[in-house]
Amino acid sequence: MFLKSLDIHGFKSFADKTHIDFAEGITALLGPNGCGKSNVVDSIKWVLAERNSKNLRAEKMEDVIFNGTERRPALNTAEVTLTIANDKGLLPLDEEEIAITRRLYRSGDQEYFINKRPAGPTEIRRLFMDTGVGKAAYSVMEQGKIDQILSSKPEDRRYLFEEAAGISRSKAEVAEAERELERTRQNMTQIEIAMGEIKRQYDTLKVQSEKTIKYRKFKEDIYLYELDLTLLRLKNFVTDKARHEEELKKVQEKRDKVRQEIEEINNTISENMDKVKAMQEDLYNKQAKLLAIGQEKNGKLELIKQQNQQALLMKEKLNSLEGRCSAIQERIDTVQEEIDENNAILHEKNKQLNDIKTNIESFQKNIETSSRQITDNDRKADSLRTQIGQLEEERAGLQKELAAITEDIVSMLDAKLKDAGFSEGALRIAKEELEQNFAKLKIFLDGRKNIFSDYAARKLSAEEAGKTASEAVEAFEEAGRQMAEVEASLKKYQDASPAFITEFLSPEGIMTKKRGIDDKINQNRDKVDDINNQIKELHSKNSELTTKINEYRDTLQKLKLNEIQMQEQITASQNQINTLNRQLTGEQTTLRETQDELYVETKRAEELNEQINQYQDELAEIEYRGKQLADEMNKLDEEIAKANKSVSGKSDTLDKKREEQNKYQEQFERLSLSLNSADNDIRNVKQNFQDQYSRDLIEFEERMYKITTPATELREKLSEAKKDFAALGSVNLMAPEEFNEVKERYERQRTNYEDTQKSLENLVRVSEEIKSKSAEMFLETYNQIKKNFHNMFRRLFNGGRAELKLADPANILSSGIDIYAQPPGKKLENIALLSGGEKTMTAVALLFATYQVRPSPFCLLDEIDAALDDKNVSSFVTALESFASVSQYIVITHNKKTVMGASTMLGITMEESGVSKIIALRLDEDIKRGTIVDHNQDDFKDEEVPDEEGVVLPPRPPKRV
Ligand SMILES: Nc1ncnc2c1ncn2[C@@H]1O[C@H](COP(=O)(O)OP(=O)(O)OP(=O)(O)O)[C@@H](O)[C@H]1O
């Protein structure tokens, strides 16, 4: 037993709470018309999540709620609970008993429960899929719907076989997979578009990035070469300084030693030399000052030299910046020109597009005008044809009249000829005789004329003249006689000719009338010919117009094509302009930046020049002071010389020592200057580097001692790098970073694309696997049902044969299923030609053939036996009984034999009008058995039915690795 019980409250005519217990085997649901039997079936369908109200015989879903009677008000809720035994685990739920509830409120809200747990309709439908109970399955066969199995389209019958094959769920899965596939395909298309866009950015930025990386590399190289060159210079200065310090120390020692010696000599020479000494000291002081001034001057000079070098570099830089500015400006001008050119082209194309549109309009108007002309011409031709019709009618009248007149003429002629005794032979003889007499007279007259002409030409004697005269008299007498003969034969001829011809030909005669009609007919024909010519002319005009229209259409099509192409060209031009504008903006930004840089550098150059001027002023002032001091020293020298002269006993040694001291002093000063200069150089090199790179050269002290490349080589490399750097032109400084970002995005999208592709392939594969499996399952089930159907048909009809055939065996998963049936003693017929009862029995055979393969756990059969005669009802009940042990049957019937086949009866009444009530009855087995018609079918033997031929199964996808 599958269905245990049903609780209905407020559903259709079940206003009161109603509980129905179902029994095993066959239950007959009985009751008078309209008592609510089918409502029980509806309630079961409804609780199993039927969503189409029409399938419940209701306009809208709320109509299933009890809507009241004369005595009872309507209810606001309908609720049905179906309790199912699941001890065999038919339903995929780990519960022995499953109660499914559906509740609907008038507001339209509804609820579902599975064992009191809220659930959704889809969950409920899925629960029953492939059990024979699911949507569109064969567990509910309703009143008058049984033979719809046969009358529905071959494709619509598949549901029976699919449900029996247990592939309804797979079908839903394939449909879902295909929807998912479509979604995935759309998703892939979107990713492809996005990837295309990113790839474009990727390519552009890749090129820019490579350029910028080169830019950075060159910049770094330049910096390192300049750093190394600076370090080499610094290293030289530092070495020089150390050397100078060493030498200075030695010279100082030597000088101090000599000075000591001089002092000693001086002390010994004279103390009077104090004055000289004082002067000498003064001179030394001055010399020291002069030395300091010299050093100061050298320092300044070196500074000026450095600054000048820097100014030179600065100038180079300014020149290069100016060069870059004008190069960018040139590019801007070129781009601007291109934009202007493109704008002009765009303008021109827009103009052309407008021209094309105008042409299209004018051609469309031409087509309309020509079409209108064709319609007018057709209308004219129609009216002319009507005229022809009228003329033809008229002519037919005339021809009738003519035929009547011709008839009259013939009969009249006949009568007159008879009256006149006309004989064609007599007329011919009379005519010949008349002609002969005329000829004879003519010959006679010609002969006499010749004779008398001869007489007239001769001179006749009187005798001859008398003879001639009497001959003449004879001749006239003879001529008179012959004339009389002619007259007689003329009369004869006239008598033989019919006199009524004249009457026929007279203006009021019948022939004149006939001619009149002939003329009218001819005129009528001429008119028709004329009109036909007019029609022909209209036709030829129309075909000319049609040719023209076709030409116009061709031109129009070409114009439309041109329009599209032009539109595309305009879009391309617009895009080109946009690209150029973007390029222009980029270049303008670079120009602005370069100009800013130029401005800053110019400012720095000006400051440098100011500084150089200031240093030069300071140098002039130092030189002035030096000169004054030198003058003072000359004076002192002179005074000392004077004093020395006055000092006696000045020894040569002292002079020599002094010379020696002077030599060392000079060396000392020179070295001091060099040392000073080296210091300055070191300071300047460091300061310049600090100014240029904002970094301290001290940081690179270690590097300084590791440089092995000679300066000349470094300079060459530096100039190469600068050249390469300048050749790069403008760069997008952020390109590498932007490129990395886009690259990352591109990679992400690619991974996304690959993942989507994998899931697409997976879906295709899943769908193919399901299809292949489903096809195999379907074919197996179909072949079984095919065999069962034939034998069940024979069983029910006591012979005959029935056949199932796949309409399209090459497409087994969509093929329709044709049904052929041949009741015994009849021809194999299309099922449409079967009688109502035969149809029902054939459908029942198919239904039971299906149950044999996959019995539905329960079946509701609502009056499917209505069209069957007694004998067929017996066969039906026998078949039903043979399935009663496998499935549970609830049969609504008015047929006693069917009722007697049931083991349980449920009565439905309407004690209170409009409200259904259940009464349970149980039949006595013996009474029941006694009424059943004999089941004498034991000797029945199944026949073999070959499997369907020519079936093509979808290939199985290769096994997954
Ligand atoms: N929402 C509703 N509220 C109250 N009564 C309803 C509602 N819907 C249908 N009915 C009633 O149910 C009855 C029809 O019931 P049903 O079709 O089940 O009868 P039946 O026993 O199958 O009859 P038959 O033997 O003629 O096929 C009708 O009287 C109809 O008025």
pLDDT per residue over 500-530, tens digit each? 555 655 656 677 777 788 888 889 989 999 9
Q: Which atom of ligand 1 is nearest to the CA of 66?
A: 3
- Cα–ligand 1 centroid distance for 39 (angstroms): 6
* 881 exposure class (CB count in 10 Å sphere: 0-12, 13-18, 19+): middle
Q: Where is the binding site for ATP, in residues?
A: 32-39
CA 381 – CA 370 distance, rounded (Å):
16
3-state secondary structure 32-90: CCCCCHHHHHHHHHHHCCCCCHHHHCCCCHHHHECCCCCCCCCCCEEEEEEEEECCCCC
Give ∠ CA 452-454-457 in degrees, rounded to 5. 110
Closest among 834, 882, 843, 887 to 865, alpha carbons compared: 843
131 vs 720, residue with greater confidence: 720
Q: Where are the alpha helices (DSSP H) in 694-728?
A: 701-704, 711-727
Question: Does the Cβ of 15 fall within 6 Å of ligand 1?
Answer: no
Question: Does the Cβ of 73 fall within 6 Å of ligand 1?
Answer: no
537 vs 167, residue with greater confidence: 537
- Cα–ligand 1 centroid distance for 869 (angstroms): 26
Question: Does the Cβ of 34 fall within 6 Å of ligand 1?
Answer: yes
- The confidence score (pLDDT) of residue 207 equals 92
Q: Which helix (H) or strand (E) holds 118?
A: strand 117-119
- Cα–ligand 1 centroid distance for 918 (angstroms): 14
Report the sign of the C-alpha dihedral through residues 413, 417, 422, 424, in that order: positive
Q: What mean pLDDT do residues 612-626 have?
A: 90
* 354 exposure class (CB count in 10 Å sphere: 0-12, 13-18, 19+): exposed
Q: Which atom of ligand 1 is nearest to the CA of 64?
A: 1
Q: Quick one: pLDDT band at residue 296, thresholds 50, 70, 90?
A: confident
Mutate to test the pocket of ligand 1, among 35, 56, 865, 890 (most ligand atoms within 8 A of CB): 35
Q: Which atom of ligand 1 is nearest to the CA of 916?
A: 12
Backbone φ, ψ for residue 58 (5° rounding): -135, 150
- Of 104-108, 284-288, 698-702, 938-942, give the lowest mean pLDDT range: 938-942
CA 217 – CA 6 distance, rounded (Å):
86
Q: Pairing state of beta strands 904-912 and 3-9?
A: unpaired
Q: What letters, b where the CB count within 10 A reaches 16 and e where it falls short, cover 126-135? A: bbbbbbbbbb
Q: What mean pLDDT do residues 179-183 have?
A: 90
Q: What is the largest CA-CA distance in the chain?
A: 235
Intra-chain end-to-end CA distance of the chain, in Å = 45
* 213 exposure class (CB count in 10 Å sphere: 0-12, 13-18, 19+): middle
- Cα–ligand 1 centroid distance for 34 (angstroms): 5
- The confidence score (pLDDT) of residue 936 equals 45
- Evaluate whether 862 touches 142 at the Cβ level (below 8 Å): yes
Proportion of the chain above pLDDT 70, given as a percent: 91
Number of residues that this document lists for the chain = 961
Q: Quick one: pLDDT band at residue 462, thresholds 50, 70, 90?
A: confident
Closest among 126, 310, 143 to 685, alpha carbons compared: 310
Other Cβ atoms less than 10 A from the Cβ of 515: the count is 13
Give ∠ CA 146-798-816 in degrees, rounded to 5. 40
- Evaluate whether 950 touches 810 at the Cβ level (below 8 Å): yes
Q: Which atom of ligand 1 is nearest to the CA of 894?
A: 25
Task: Work out the mean pLDDT of the chain and round it to a whole number.
Answer: 86
DSSP 8-state assignment for residue 694: S
Q: CA-CA-CA-CA torsion for 182, 184, 190, 194, nearest 10 degrees?
A: -160
- How distant is the alpha carbon of residue 589 from its chain centre? 40
Closest among 807, 811, 833, 813 to 821, alpha carbons compared: 833
- Please name the residue whose Cα sits nearest to atom 28 of ligand 1: 34
Mutate to test the pocket of ligand 1, among 8, 13, 53 (most ligand atoms within 8 A of CB): 13
492 vs 483, residue with greater confidence: 483
- Cα–ligand 1 centroid distance for 914 (angstroms): 8
Question: Does the Cβ of 906 fall within 6 Å of ligand 1?
Answer: no
- Please name the residue whose Cα sits nearest to atom 5 of ligand 1: 13
Report the sign of the C-alpha dihedral through residues 655, 656, 658, 663, in that order: positive
Mutate to test the pocket of ligand 1, among 14, 18, 38, 46 (most ligand atoms within 8 A of CB): 38
DSSP 8-state assignment for residue 960: P
Question: Does the Cβ of 43 fall within 6 Å of ligand 1?
Answer: no
Question: Does the Cβ of 40 fall within 6 Å of ligand 1?
Answer: no
Closest among 767, 834, 828 to 802, alpha carbons compared: 828
- The confidence score (pLDDT) of residue 272 equals 59
Q: CA-CA-CA-CA torsion for 381, 383, 384, 385, nearest 10 degrees?
A: 90
Closest among 553, 91, 609, 15 to 304, alpha carbons compared: 609
Question: Does the Cβ of 10 fall within 6 Å of ligand 1?
Answer: no
Q: Which atom of ligand 1 is nearest to the CA of 143?
A: 27
Q: What pLDDT, in 10s, does the model give residues 801-828?
A: 899 999 899 998 889 888 888 988 887 7
Rg of the chain in Å (alpha carbons): 68
- The confidence score (pLDDT) of residue 636 equals 84
- Evaluate whether 895 touches 876 at the Cβ level (below 8 Å): no
User: Structure tokens of 880?
Assistant: 């039903």
- The confidence score (pLDDT) of residue 647 equals 65
Q: What mean pLDDT do residues 776-797 have?
A: 92
- How distant is the alpha carbon of residue 657 from its chain centre? 110
Q: What pLDDT, in 10s, does the model give residues 26-80?
A: 998 888 889 999 999 999 999 999 988 988 999 999 999 999 999 999 999 999 9
Q: What mean pLDDT do residues 149-174 have?
A: 77
DSSP code per residue over 389-456: HHHHHHHHHHHHHHHHHHHHHHHHHHHHHHHHT--HHHHHHHHHHHHHHHHHHHHHHHHHHHHHHHHH
Question: Does the Cβ of 789 fall within 6 Å of ligand 1?
Answer: no
- The confidence score (pLDDT) of residue 928 equals 44
- The confidence score (pLDDT) of residue 245 equals 92
Q: What pLDDT, in 10s, does the model give residues 898-937?
A: 888 888 888 888 888 899 998 876 554 444 443 444 444 4
Q: Which atom of ligand 1 is nearest to the CA of 32?
A: 25
Other Cβ atoms less than 10 A from the Cβ of 489: the count is 20
- Cα–ligand 1 centroid distance for 896 (angstroms): 22
- Please name the residue whose Cα sits nearest to atom 9 of ligand 1: 12
Q: Which atom of ligand 1 is nearest to the CA of 69?
A: 4
- Cα–ligand 1 centroid distance for 881 (angstroms): 29
- The confidence score (pLDDT) of residue 291 equals 86
Q: Quick one: pLDDT band at residue 419, thresholds 50, 70, 90?
A: low
- Cα–ligand 1 centroid distance for 16 (angstroms): 15
Q: What mean pLDDT do residues 943-958 have?
A: 83
- Cα–ligand 1 centroid distance for 526 (angstroms): 80
Mutate to test the pocket of ligand 1, among 30, 39, 80, 906 (most ligand atoms within 8 A of CB): 39
Question: Does the Cβ of 13 fall within 6 Å of ligand 1?
Answer: yes
- The confidence score (pLDDT) of residue 270 equals 64
Question: Does the Cβ of 5 fall within 6 Å of ligand 1?
Answer: no
Q: What mean pLDDT do residues 836-858 have?
A: 85
Q: What pLDDT, in 10s, does the model give residues 325-343?
A: 999 999 899 889 889 988 9
150 vs 378, residue with greater confidence: 378
- Evaluate whether 783 touches 768 at the Cβ level (below 8 Å): no
- Cα–ligand 1 centroid distance for 342 (angstroms): 80
Question: Does the Cβ of 39 fall within 6 Å of ligand 1?
Answer: yes
- Evaluate whether 862 touches 41 at the Cβ level (below 8 Å): yes
Q: Where is the binding site, in residues?
A: 32-39
CA 211 – CA 738 distance, rounded (Å):
13
- Please name the residue whose Cα sits nearest to atom 2 of ligand 1: 12
CB within 8 Å of 29: residues ≥ 6 apart:
37, 40, 890, 891, 892, 893, 905, 906, 908
User: Structure tokens of 92?
Assistant: 């995929």
Mutate to test the pocket of ligand 1, among 11, 12, 890 (most ligand atoms within 8 A of CB): 12
- The confidence score (pLDDT) of residue 935 equals 43
Question: Does the Cβ of 144 fall within 6 Å of ligand 1?
Answer: no
- Cα–ligand 1 centroid distance for 42 (angstroms): 10
CA 2 – CA 100 distance, rounded (Å):
13
